[in-house]
Amino acid sequence: MESHYDLSDDQFEMQFQTAKLPTSLFNHEAHVRLAWIHIKKYGCEIAIENITSQIMAYVIAIGETEKYNMTLTVAAVKAVNHFMQKSSSNNFPDFIAEIPPLEYKFQGINSASL
Answer yes or no: is pLDDT of 102 > 90: no
Whether residue 112 lies inside any domain: the answer is no
Whether residue 111 lies inside any domain: the answer is no
**DSSP letter string over 6-65?**
GS-HHHHHHHHHTT-S-GGG-SHHHHHHHHHHHHHHH-HHHHHHHHHHHHHHHHHHTT-G
Our count of domains for the chain comes to 1
The pLDDT tens digits for 70-90 are: 999 999 999 999 999 999 999
Q: Which residues span the domain enclosing 78?
A: 4-105
Q: Residues 58, 51: contact at Cβ < 8 Å?
A: no
Q: How confident is the model at residue 103 (pLDDT cuts 50, 70, 90)?
A: confident
Helix (H, G, I), strand (E, B) or coil at 5: helix
**DSSP letter string over 59-109?**
HHHTT-GGG--HHHHHHHHHHHHHHHHH---SSHHHHHHHSTHHHH-STT-
Whether residue 82 lies inside any domain: the answer is yes
Task: Tell me how long the chain is.
Answer: 114
Answer yes or no: is pLDDT of 104 > 80: no
